[in-house]
Amino acid sequence: MERQPNSRMCFVCGLENPIGLKLAFYQDGNGKVTARFTPRDEHQGYPGVLHGGIIATLLDETLGRVANAYHVWMTTAKLEIRYRKPVPLGEEMTVIGEMAQMRSRTMIARGEIRLADGTVAVEAEGLYVKVPDEVIEQMKPVAGIVTVADDEGLICP
């Protein structure tokens, strides 16, 4: 598994965001993206349960990063989520995303959250739209992309 780059201030992956989740994302050779996360008390909705908005955020980021595995920048156009089971706090979960369909300007990705025992708790499908090249060029200087050398050290471009 190859680790994807992080950014500095992204809520999900930003390494310098003081209130961020600081997730690390990994991709396999087939474009499947995964991340592991253990929700804490400050992430709860109902007592003992991960907030649904945080769940949506995790899935949106993971599905969007599927495009990164193909070296394409995309943004969310539509996200549908099916909450099957509550996601408990304090237990590691795995967020998974895979491409279902890629076209010239759009991608459909599917994903899920699996609990520690492998149970699928949440499913998602998203439609993502390619970010125009000129917008990418404007964002690059302020995005603060950090290339991660390993789980301990950083190489900043």
DSSP per-residue string spanning 23-89: ---EE-TTS-EEEEE---GGGBSSTTBB-HHHHHHHHHHHHHHHHHTTT--EEEEEEEEEE-S--BT
Each residue's pLDDT tens digit, 33-92: 999 999 999 999 999 999 999 999 999 999 999 998 888 889 999 999 999 999 999 999
- The number of distinct structural domains making up the chain is 1
Residue 156: the pLDDT is 38
Residue 72 Cα distances to 31, 42, 48, 94, angstroms:
12, 33, 37, 23
- For residue 154, pLDDT over 50 is answered with no
The larger pLDDT score, comparing residue 84 to residue 13, is at: 84
- Predicted local confidence at residue 22, as pLDDT: 93
34 is in which domain, residue-wise? 2-155
Copy the structure tokens of residue 128.
């993502």
Q: What is the CATH number of the domain that holds 21?
A: 3.10.129.10
